[in-house]
């Protein structure tokens, strides 16, 4: 199926379009200190599942039964200068749990609306106007092409303790991307718990973290990224990759400890601790502000890893969902009616 960032069809006639995009895991940032030249610098992985799926029909107005979908549709219509769109959200990612629901929905709506009118979405270019990519560029990059991604971050002089006005930024460029081996599986645990921070709450927390972040932690992370993580990703070495992302996650947690009540926020911390004892799992960590917890294993041991996660939830009196997706090797898919 065509990629949503490819050239527009030669037939510009309006049509019904469905766009589907996988979730993403966010391992952490490379730097949160104003004492270094680049701020943020996201590290993450696109997943095949779970997914957000939207269908767009060209109309004269903006309509959607999904309130957030309607908000993004209104933005997309304005950005693309088209009359309107009737948007249906067919599959949803759980919101504010660490799976990138906002970015994937926003870009799926943008791409579906554009394709419905035979236009090129230009997702990376338009992401800021959709309110996305203001810190991490991982969600935009995985929407475009999937994979394991490291982005360059933003110039620190543009992102002081007060970020630029909404939309007044560019999405950080990708500095490294690798397809991960097909026999790797990511354990994704989604506990039924309070959602992670978002919106103004997230902005306040991030400002507080950035104001006091120790630059020495960023220097340590840089060494892990260049000497451990990138070689392991390029060579497909699972245990080394897992060790590196776990180390980066814990170092990020040291920055966030005061803001979230520990290196990992409750109840993610309890689940991380339990899963670290599972011999078939590597790279245990918390995605974004949580509460999603993840790890990496191979296909031979995936069911054992899932059983360990189910036990960890049960022993802590938690309900939740356990998933075993593979890393995505491509970006969002586009389907027109009849395909």
DSSP string, 261-291: TSSS-TTHHHHHHHHTT-TT-EEEEE-TTSS
- Report the 10 Å Cβ neighbour count for 65: 10
DSSP string for 71-120? HHHHHHHHHHT-S-EEEEEEE-PPTTSSS-HHHHHHHHHHHHHHHHTT--
So what's the pLDDT on residue 1? 45
pLDDT per position in the chain (339 positions), as tens?
445 544 444 456 789 999 999 999 999 999 999 999 999 999 999 999 999 999 999 999 999 999 999 999 999 999 999 999 999 999 999 999 999 999 999 999 999 999 999 999 999 999 999 999 999 999 999 999 999 999 999 999 876 666 677 778 899 999 999 999 999 999 999 999 876 555 566 677 788 889 899 999 999 999 999 999 999 999 999 999 999 999 999 999 999 888 788 889 989 999 999 999 999 999 999 999 899 999 999 999 999 999 999 999 999 999 999 999 999 999 999 999 866
Question: Which DSSP helix (H) or strand (E) runs through 70?
Answer: helix 67-80
So what's the pLDDT on residue 205? 73
Q: Could you tell me the residue ranges of all domains in the chain?
A: 17-330
CATH 3.40.50.2000 correct for 17-330: no
Residue 230 is encoded by which pair of tokens?
Answer: 């990138």
So what's the pLDDT on residue 12? 62
So what's the pLDDT on residue 206? 81
So what's the pLDDT on residue 168? 80
So what's the pLDDT on residue 198? 55
**How far apart, in whole angstroms, are the C-alpha atoms of residue 80 and residue 114?**
7
According to DSSP H, which parts of 117-194 are helical?
A: 123-126, 138-145
So what's the pLDDT on residue 106? 98
DSSP string for 4-45? TTSPPPS------EEEEEEEEEEEEEEE--TTSSEEEEEEEE
Please tell me the pTM assigned to this model: 0.92
**Contact status, residue 322 vs residue 312, Cβ threshold 8 Å:** no
């Amino acid at each position: 199926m065509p990629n949503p960032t490819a050239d527009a069809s030669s037939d510009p006639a309006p049509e019904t379009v469905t766009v589907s995009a996988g979730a993403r895991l966010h391992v952490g940032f490379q730097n949160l200190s104003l004492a270094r030249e680049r701020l943020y610098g996201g590290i993450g992985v696109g997943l095949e599942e779970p997914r957000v799926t939207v269908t767009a029909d060209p109309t004269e107005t903006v309509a959607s039964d999904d309130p957030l979908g309607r908000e993004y549709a209104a933005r997309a219509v304005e950005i693309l200068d088209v009359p309107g769109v009737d948007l249906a959200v067919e599959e949803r990612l759980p919101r504010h749990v660490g799976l990138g629901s906002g970015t994937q929905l926003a870009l799926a709506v943008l791409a579906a609306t554009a394709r419905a009118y035979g236009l090129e979405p230009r997702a990376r270019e338009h992401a800021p106007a959709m309110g996305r990519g203001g810190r991490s560029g991982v969600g935009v990059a995985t929407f475009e092409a999937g994979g394991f991604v490291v982005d360059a971050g933003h110039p620190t002089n543009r992102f002081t303790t007060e970020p630029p006005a909404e939309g007044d930024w560019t999405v950080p460029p990708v500095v490294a991307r690798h397809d991960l081996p097909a026999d790797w599986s990511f354990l994704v645990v989604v506990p039924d718990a309070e959602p992670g921070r978002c919106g103004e709450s997230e902005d306040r927390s991030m400002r507080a973290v950035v104001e006091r972040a120790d630059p020495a932690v960023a220097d340590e992370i840089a060494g892990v990224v260049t000497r451990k993580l990138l070689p392991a990703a390029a060579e497909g070495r699972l245990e080394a990759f897992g060790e590196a992302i776990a180390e980066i996650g814990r170092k990020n947690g040291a920055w966030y400890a005061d803001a979230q009540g520990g290196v990992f926020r409750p109840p993610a911390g309890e689940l991380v601790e339990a899963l670290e004892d599972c011999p078939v799992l590597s790279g245990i960590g918390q995605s974004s502000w949580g509460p999603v917890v993840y790890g990496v294993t191979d296909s031979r041991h995936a069911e054992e890893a899932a059983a360990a996660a189910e036990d960890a939830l049960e022993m802590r009196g938690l309900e939740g969902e356990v998933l075993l997706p593979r890393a995505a090797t491509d970006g969002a898919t586009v389907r027109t009616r009849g395909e």
